[in-house]
Amino acid sequence: MRTLKVVKIFGTLTMLSGLSACSMLGLEFFGEEGFFRDRQGDYLEAESIPRIVVPDTMDSYIIDDLLVIPDVNSTAGESLIQAPRPRPLQRDPDRSVVVQSMDEKSWAVVDASVSQVWPRVRQYWLERDIELALENPANGLLDTIWFVEDGNNVTQVKFRVIVESGFQNESSEISLIQISLPQNAEVSERVNWPEQSMDPDYASDILSEISVYLANEMRNYQASTVSFLAGNVASEGRATMLTEGGINMLHLRAEFDRSWAAVGRALDRAEIEIIEENVDEGLFSVRYGETDVEEDPGFISRLISSAQRRETIPFGVFVVQTEDGIEVVALRMIDIVNDSYSEDITEEALSLQEQQDIESINSLIETIRNLI
């Protein structure tokens, strides 16, 4: 053991003396000119290189312009030493892709960010050999050229695909607008797009095809293409929790149809019993939570029980259109119908009941927020 320790010390001294000798000979290991120089800022001098040309016999599926070098007007002397990193990829396999429809409008909800969904939607059209007339990933817009579907001898069609952030963070929504013209009509790639598709059923069928395609590709989201241009689209969800007077409410930056469908889906996913829904009034009548209900038992029952039973509470979940979006609020049904509690209840019991109702309302709204 003593000999081994002496050998280790001797070897270390020999290596250090060798490094000193290299320095004396003009060989540098560290510093800007050294062999082990700091390469952290090298990327600042990187230049674009020609696009990779993939032979026709090979698959170019995941080849894409991921790291586009933008034109940056930087101040002299300033540099970005810490290279920015892309956001981590996230998804929830339990949600996957869901198509929702209301009033001849359809849209797909995808549990993946816009930067993940965009290249997949783009790839869907390319795999169908349909060229793209417009690609604007920063605004989530993609237009196809005019094309003729197989078996269609009458019209030619064109699609606009809109990919935008969903209600949840790192989620997306996809919608389509479809237009058509006779096959012998002159067309232009400059189009004044309508608010709705000319053929909603056909657009819904294509959206369903895209949704199936995306669902099959969900397993590739974490290991394949991400569009850094589409990453410029905000990944923050369009649902915001607000609190007023200690009571939660939900603000949705969306139109009424999508908000109504999203709230209904959240209630279904939470397995909350929906007693009735009235879209004209924007009201879901639901049962949520439990409360103790006093009973008037007989003498024997009072000896063996506390004379209480548990009941679910009826609530009204309102989806209300406002000037800047949608508000989702909840009220206990007794407040809606009678606007008061029983006259026989004491002030202390009333205060306790109101506090319990507020807790239930806040819990209900938070549940909707987490599952919308």
Q: The domain spanning residue 361 has which CATH number? A: 3.30.310.80
Specify whether 244 is located in the same domain as 224.
Answer: no
Assess if residue 29 is contained within a domain: no
Confidence tier at 168 by pLDDT (50, 70, 90)? confident
Phi, psi angles (nearest 5°) of residue 116: -85, -40
Flag whether pLDDT at 88 surpasses 60: no
Specify whether 330 is located in the same domain as 347.
Answer: yes
Partners of 173 in the beta sheet? Answer: 109, 164
Q: Which of residues 198, 215, 232 is at a domain's end? A: 232
Specify whether 107 is located in the same domain as 199.
Answer: yes
Q: Which of residues 172, 202, 232 is at a domain's end? A: 232
For the chain, what is the domain count? 2
Specify whether 110 is located in the same domain as 228.
Answer: yes
CA distance 64 to 21: 50
Nearest to 236 by CA among 185, 142, 170, 178: 170
Assess if residue 57 is contained within a domain: no
Nearest to 284 by CA among 239, 336, 237: 336
Flag whether pLDDT at 23 surpasses 90: no
Specify whether 349 is located in the same domain as 283.
Answer: yes
For residues 159-173, average pLDDT: 91
Specify whether 200 is located in the same domain as 298.
Answer: no
Assess if residue 77 is contained within a domain: no
Provide the residue range defining the domain that includes 320: 239-371
Most distant pair of Cα atoms in the chain: their distance: 105
State how far Cα 103 lies from the chain centre. Answer: 24
CA distance 370 to 241: 10
CA distance 322 to 327: 7
- In the DSSP assignment, the letter for residue 53 is -
Q: What's the pLDDT tens digit per position in 110-162?
A: 988 888 888 899 999 999 999 999 999 888 899 999 999 888 889 999 999 99
Specify whether 132 is located in the same domain as 255.
Answer: no
Confidence tier at 49 by pLDDT (50, 70, 90)? confident
Assess if residue 47 is contained within a domain: no
Mean pLDDT of the residues in the chain: 75
Assess if residue 104 is contained within a domain: yes
Q: With 0-12 CB in 10 A as exposed, 13-18 as middle and 19+ as buried, what is 99?
A: middle
CA distance 125 to 137: 15
Q: Which of residues 184, 216, 232 is at a domain's end? A: 232
Specify whether 211 is located in the same domain as 249.
Answer: no
Q: What's the pLDDT tens digit per position in 256-308?
A: 998 999 999 899 989 999 999 999 999 999 999 765 545 555 545 554 454 45
Confidence tier at 328 by pLDDT (50, 70, 90)? very high
Specify whether 302 is located in the same domain as 227.
Answer: no
CB 162 within 8 A of CB 174: yes
Q: What is the reported pLDDT for 31?
A: 62
Specify whether 104 is located in the same domain as 228.
Answer: yes
Nearest to 288 by CA among 272, 269, 267, 309: 272
Assess if residue 269 is contained within a domain: yes
| Strand order, beta sheet including 273-278 | 239-244, 247-252, 325-332, 308-322, 283-294, 273-278
Confidence tier at 5 by pLDDT (50, 70, 90)? very low
Look up the CATH number of the domain holding residue 106.
3.30.530.50
Angle at 314 between CA 309 and CA 318, to 5 degrees: 160
CB 113 within 8 A of CB 235: yes
- In the DSSP assignment, the letter for residue 337 is H
Among 8-12, 48-52, 80-84, 214-218, the range of highest mean pLDDT: 214-218
Return the C-alpha torsion angle 20, 25, 29, 33, nearest 10.
Answer: 140
Assess if residue 44 is contained within a domain: no
Specify whether 227 is located in the same domain as 254.
Answer: no
Q: What is the reported pLDDT for 92?
A: 46
Specify whether 259 is located in the same domain as 279.
Answer: yes
Flag whether pLDDT at 234 surpasses 80: no
Among 13-27, 87-101, 328-342, the range of highest mean pLDDT: 328-342
User: Six-digit token pair at 224?
Assistant: 């394949």
Confidence tier at 190 by pLDDT (50, 70, 90)? confident
Flag whether pLDDT at 101 surpasses 50: yes
Tracing tokens 């050999």 back to the chain, one arrives at 129
Assess if residue 355 is contained within a domain: yes
